[in-house]
Amino acid sequence: MVKGGSDMLKEFREFLNRGNVIDLAVAVILGTAFTGVVKSLVDDIIMPLIGILLGGVSFTSLTVQVGDAVVTYGNFIQAIVNFVIIAFVIFLIVRYYNQLARKKEETPATPPAPTEDVLLLREIRDLLKK
């Protein structure tokens, strides 16, 4: 075995066991699933409505013939629309999360209950006042 290989393997194992890597993996998986949902939303709901507003034009069918090549710029427009919608939804999620975080910061923390020592000192203070 290569010298230092076990150290690198140990370091790699520690890297994988960190919470950040697991969180990132979960985010990638959820992002992939979320992309499918947004693609369906755009392809099956939003784009047909936009097509109706534009007189039945489908973006994906927009092409231009340049010599022997066919440039399907409609697919590019579709990708831009998908990106804008995904970006907007992520913006709304982050915005909502930030509002929740601000509310949590604004709520004052309840002071901890006094310890026995403090209660005893207060009792002594009150007795001395009398």
Is 120 contained in some domain?
no
Is 82 contained in some domain?
yes
Residue range 29-54: average pLDDT? 81
Structure confidence at residue 2 (pLDDT): 55
Structure confidence at residue 69 (pLDDT): 92
Structure confidence at residue 3 (pLDDT): 59
pLDDT tens for residues 61-113? Answer: 888 999 999 998 988 888 888 788 778 877 888 899 889 888 877 777 777 88
Residue range 49-64: average pLDDT? 77
Q: Give the CATH number of the domain where residue 56 resides.
A: 1.10.1200.120
Distance CA 60, CA 58 (A): 6
Q: Does 47 have pLDDT greater than 80?
A: no
Distance CA 62, CA 73 (A): 6
Q: Could you give the number of structural domains in the chain?
A: 1
Q: Tell me the pLDDT of the chain averaged across its residues.
A: 82
Model pTM above 0.85? no
Nearest residue to 92 (alpha-carbon basis) of 34, 52, 43, 47: 34
Is 97 contained in some domain?
yes
Residue-number span of the structural domain to which 63 is assigned: 5-110
Count of residues in the chain? 130
Is 88 contained in some domain?
yes
Structure confidence at residue 19 (pLDDT): 67
Is 87 contained in some domain?
yes
The SS3 call for residue 66 is strand
Residue range 107-125: average pLDDT? 83
